Amino acid sequence: MRIEGLGWNVRKTAAGAEGNLPLGWQGEVVVADPVLEASLRGLAFVASVAVAGVAPGTALGTTVPFTLYNPKSSGKLLIPIEVSLGYVSGTLGAGTIAYVTSATITEAAPAGTALTARSTKIGSSTAATGQAAVTVTVAANSLLVGPAFNLQASLASTAVAPYEVRDRCFGRFVITEGAYLGLQGIAAAGTSPLVMLGMSWVEVPV
């Protein structure tokens, strides 16, 4: 029996439509996690807060520590793969790092310090469409989507500290044109806490 396929690409398929089986980089049928294939094709990107860190925040509001924004009329959908948190300094306050988003895509674009997004295909010069930023001002109070990480009240000398934690969220969120997904602390203030926040994502046509 012969099975035919088509080299993997990113396209939208209507419900009930027939099509070729997608073939991967080495001729394999792509049936499971497509993240590696997206990286091989130069369609995945990653951005991180600088080594100096950022305050994780304490409550929902119009300032968000980290956002990934999909510009209006970008022609792309952004699919987060994984988010990560690393401890930098200070005393963390107990609470949660949560996913947050905009109330409506008609809001003004978030304004913050832009971060450099890099292709996960190291050495690729492909530019990202998604715009990652730190210490971001948004047009209206951010809305809670759900928890990403727990924070414990700790500092550098604590025996078990959250030096790095990850949430593999691939497939859980899709960021449409004009919307953002952010990371926001909902926690006690602590004492001068600083963390690194990062996100990787795949970009596909609308």
In a domain, 19, yes or no: no
pLDDT-derived band at 7 (thresholds 50, 70, 90) equals: very low
Average pLDDT of 80-88? 94
Is the CB of residue 21 less than 8 Å from the CB of residue 8?
no
- Angstrom CA distances, 58 to 63, 64, 95, 98, 191, stand at 10, 10, 8, 11, 12
pLDDT exceeds cutoff 70 at 9? no
> Residues of the chain with pLDDT > 90: what percent?
65
**Of 180, 178, 58, 202, nearest in space to 121 by CA:** 202
In a domain, 28, yes or no: no
In a domain, 13, yes or no: no
Q: Which domain holds residue 172?
A: 42-205
Average pLDDT of 123-129? 93
pLDDT exceeds cutoff 80 at 116? yes
Q: Please tell me the distance from the alpha carbon of residue 80 to that of residue 198, in angstroms, as a whole number.
A: 11
Residues sharing a CB contact under 8 Å with residue 175, sequence separation 6 or more, in sequence order: 68, 69, 70, 77, 78, 79, 80, 130, 181, 201
In a domain, 90, yes or no: yes
Average pLDDT of 79-93? 93
The answer to whether the predicted template modeling score (pTM) of the entire model surpasses 0.75 is yes
Tokens for 102? 């905009």
In a domain, 9, yes or no: no
Q: Please tell me the distance from the alpha carbon of residue 180 to that of residue 132, in angstroms, as a whole number.
A: 9
Is the CB of residue 174 less than 8 Å from the CB of residue 101?
no
Q: Please tell me the distance from the alpha carbon of residue 196 to that of residue 57, in angstroms, as a whole number.
A: 12
> Residues of the chain with pLDDT > 70: what percent?
81
In a domain, 20, yes or no: no
137-166, pLDDT tens digit by residue? Answer: 999 999 999 999 988 887 777 756 555 689
Phi, psi of 43 (to 5 degrees): -105, 5
For residue 11, the model assigns a pLDDT of 55
In a domain, 179, yes or no: yes
Q: Which residue has better confidence, 142 or 17?
A: 142
In a domain, 62, yes or no: yes
**Of 110, 162, 161, 160, nearest in space to 136 by CA:** 110
How many domains is the chain partitioned into structurally? 1
27-83, pLDDT tens digit by residue? Answer: 666 665 678 888 888 999 999 999 999 999 999 999 999 999 999 999 999 999 999
